[in-house]
Amino acid sequence: MNVKQRVEKLREQIRYHNYRYYVLDSPEIPDAEYDRLMRELQTLEAEHPELITPDSPTQRVGAQPLEGFGEVRHEVPMLSLDNAFSDEELAEFDRRVRERLEIDTVEYAAEPKLDGLAISLLYEDGVLVRGATRGDGTTGEDVTLNVRTIESIPLRLMGKDYPKRLEVRGEVVMPLKGFRELNKRQQAEGHKPFVNPRNAAAGSLRQLDPKVTAQRPLEMYCYGIGLVEKGELPDRHSAILARLRDWGLRVYKGVTTVRGLDGCIRYYNTMEKRRDSLPFDIDGVVFKVDSLDEQQRLGYVARAPRWAIARKFPAQEELTRVLDIDVQVGRTGALTPVARLEPVFVGGVTVTNATLHNEDEIRRKDVHIGDWVIVRRAGDVIPEVVSVVKDRRPKDAKPFVMPKKCPVCGSDIERVEGEAVARCTGGLYCEAQRKEAIKHFASRRAMDIEGLGDKLVEQLVDEKLVNDVADLYSLDVDTLAGLERMGRKSAENLIKALEDSKHTTLERFLFALGIREVGEVTARALARAFGTSDTKGMSDKKRVRTDIDRLAKATQEALEAIPDIGPVVAGHIVKFFKQKHNRDVISKLLDAGITWPPQEVAAAQPLQGKTYVLTGTLSSMTRNDAKARLQALGAKVAGSVSAKTSAVIAGEKAGSKLAKAEKLGVPVLSEDDLIKLLEQGEQGT
């Protein structure tokens, strides 16, 4: 084989592996092997520069920064989409389509509506020759050098039967994980973080220096075509997308076809539920009449096709005004500034408050009282103020000043050097902290006191009926029934729920105490370490006290010796038990009859200290079952591979995690190995 042939062979291999890795998410070879192919190609090209071609995989980044972007006139205009904001509007669209086509049921292609930047790619003889933004639909910007750096965009199409000239259209997006990492980097380097993934994608693609774009985590998903010359394409949109996939372009795997309005509504509902678990932001779904013949008969209006519609999700970002900024005191005394907002419908609910996180965040975002702000509510997360619309700031807008004293109890506020949060030092003297502590104590994963909701806790504290968590157990039906909005039946139920809650477990009890940074996992570790298992005829009452006494007397060193407990948490535990009022409350709780069973003798934990990563599909059990069984043997199960991973367990179709394991030299186990490992551990051998 001569050099030219070897170079071409290498390019073909690298293109194929790029496709496996970036488009299919399913690499065949480890990264190290890929790197070797790439290095060999680079070396040969350096020795024989006359062999370099623009579509060589080595040529993604190379050119000098641009002075400005050139213009691109779209030979076939890049249209936008009409929107439907309700099922009714969607039904209207479907009715219009059916009437014009004079058919009963329409077959639609259904796609997620990606929230990024629309891009057109031009391939000539299968080689990427131009990338352009949508611009105003007629004229866009030439971003060829930048799109070339995006690895999911092939520089050359696969296969042979593509048209001589083919324009592919799609959306360039920044996946959420990459967006968060990029923003962390931006902040660490003193740059302004991006407001959302779409802005980050647009900003990254419109960089004059392609080297910057190359470092940004961008991906392109294709959803259609524009210009086609000299070539045959299928007569259905869904089949064209399948063809794009064959040519090595990335098409989102959730793209499908549905029948009629019912099918559209089902797809919309499914995608809305999945929205928060997708790796990128979507702002709706798109329905397109699948038959190209029918598309043609429907035609266009102004700048949008009559054969497509975007069914938008409720907006996750909206504009509203900050009426005031209050400071809330949390269970651990943490002060959180909260913006009181003019009510606004966002993310499917009416929002009146949004968190501002802490003082530094308010400074960074420069939020004033009276400002117009963008509020975001995504999924079930707490709404937050994203940014301020500065040019709408009213003259009388007031900057926020963090109070010097706790707004609830008047105690001093402390802000530990290097920490973002300021805290009220009042502890349980502070009514706000007390209320939060009681709410936490009663919550489902703690003492699980049914019927003791947040509002009732606040009422009980305000009425001075309950001062600390132990007082809950002195309540009686008559007192409760005397409260506003409380019937006798509810009062009786609550007293019964309080009685029931007395039979708990040590780990729940320790979690319920609300010791700083003691979550359920730490509480379980403490219960394992301090719970009595050998009762030696001890009474239950004595045993329960013994458990607590042992924990209360534990030294910093003894606590740090427990797996998963570090110096900070150990410090919080010691400090908690040093305070007499905490010991008194616990004593009162035990007097009230709170009890738990003896600690079970911990099962052998032969995999203690090991960390596994599961990837691919297992055939004999689900990944969740495998995870639970590994954890029961003391192992940790992590989501990503690092040098500390003990082994990666690879099922069928294992992807990039397997490649990463091989790159880092982490051992890889098969499903059979896993079964052996579990069986040995479970039999205690």
| Active site residue ranges | 113
Q: Out of 10, 114, 432, 573, which residue is the one contacting ligand 9MJ (CB under 6 A)?
A: 114
Q: Which helix (H) or strand (E) holds 573?
A: helix 567-578
Q: Which whole-number Å values give the CA distances from 59 to 11, 125, 142, 328, in the listed order?
A: 11, 18, 18, 55
650 binds ligand 9MJ (CB under 6 A): no
What is the pattern of x (binds ligand 9MJ, CB under 6 A) and - over residues 294-323? --------------x---------------
Q: Is the CB of 113 or the CB of 636 nearer to ligand 9MJ?
A: 113
Helix (H) or strand (E) holding 544: helix 540-553
Q: Do 281 and 305 meet the contact criterion of CB atoms below 8 Å apart?
A: no
| Interactions with ligand 9MJ, residue window 214-243 (CB under 6 A) | 223-224
What sections of 381-449 are H helices per DSSP?
431-442
Using the minimum distance from each CB to ligand 9MJ, give the nearer residue, 81 or 658.
81
Return the number of the residue (271 or 452) whose C-beta is nearest ligand 9MJ. 271
Residue 470 has φ and ψ, to the nearest 5°, of -70, -30
* SS (HEC) of 257-302: EEEHHHHHHHHHHHHHHHHHHCCCCEEEEEEEECEHHHHHHHCEEC
| Residue whose CB is less far from ligand 9MJ, 223 or 596 | 223
Q: Which is nearer to ligand 9MJ, 255 or 654 (CB)?
A: 255
Q: Which one of residues 94, 111, 384, 468 is an interface residue with ligand 9MJ (CB under 6 A)?
A: 111
Q: Return the residue of 14, 79, 344, 529 that touches ligand 9MJ, per CB under 6 A.
A: 79
113 binds ligand 9MJ (CB under 6 A): yes
From the list 60-68, 108-116, 454-462, 531-539, the region that binds ligand 9MJ by CB under 6 A is: 108-116
The site map against ligand 9MJ for 557-596 (x = CB under 6 A) is ----------------------------------------
Return the number of the residue (79 or 437) whose C-beta is nearest ligand 9MJ: 79
Site membership for ligand 9MJ, residue 286 (CB under 6 A): yes
Triad 625, 533, 633: Cα angle to 5°: 25
Q: Among 130, 133, 124, 212, which Cα is nearest to 170's?
A: 133
Give min distance, CB of 412 to ligand 9MJ, in A: 53
**Shortest distance in whole angstroms from residue 118 CB to ligand 9MJ:** 7
CA distance 285 to 304: 16
Nearest-approach distance from CB 81 to ligand 9MJ, in angstroms: 5
* Per-residue mark of binding to ligand 9MJ, 119-158 (x: CB under 6 A): ----------------------------------------
111 vs 294 by CB, closer to ligand 9MJ: 111
> Whole-angstrom Cα distance, residue 438 to residue 447?
10
Count of residues of this chain found to bind ligand 9MJ when the rule CB under 6 A is applied:
10
Sign of torsion, CA 554 556 558 564?
Answer: positive
Distance of CA 5 to the CA centre of its chain: 46
Helix axes 567-578 and 580-591, enclosed angle (nearest 10) = 70
Q: What is the rounded distance in angstroms from the CA atom of residue 651 to the CA atom of residue 417?
A: 47
Q: Ramachandran region of residue 589, left (φ > 0), alpha (ψ -120 to 50) or beta?
A: alpha
- Report the nearest approach of ligand 9MJ to the CB of residue 111 (Å): 4
**Least distance to ligand 9MJ, CB of residue 268, Å:** 13
Q: By C-alpha distance, which of 166, 122, 126 is closest to 147? A: 122
3-state secondary structure (DSSP) of residue 188: helix
Question: Of the listed pieces 107-115, 228-236, 515-523, 528-536, which binds ligand 9MJ according to CB under 6 A?
Answer: 107-115
Binding-residue pattern over the window 27 to 66 for ligand 9MJ, x denoting contact by CB under 6 A: ----------------------------------------
Contact residue for ligand 9MJ among 45, 94, 171, 384 (CB under 6 A): 171
Stretch that binds ligand 9MJ, among 109-117, 212-220, 370-378, 519-527 (CB under 6 A): 109-117
Q: Which of 199, 129, 121, 202 is nearest to 167 (CA)?
A: 121
DSSP 67-104: SSPPEEE-SS------EE-SHHHHHHHHHHHHHHHT-S
Q: How far apart are CA 394 and CA 370, in angstroms?
A: 7
- Based on the shown chain and the rule CB under 6 A, indicate whether residue 84 belongs to the binding site for ligand 9MJ: no
* Residues at the site binding ligand 9MJ, with contacts judged by CB under 6 A: 79, 81, 111, 113-114, 171, 223-224, 286, 308
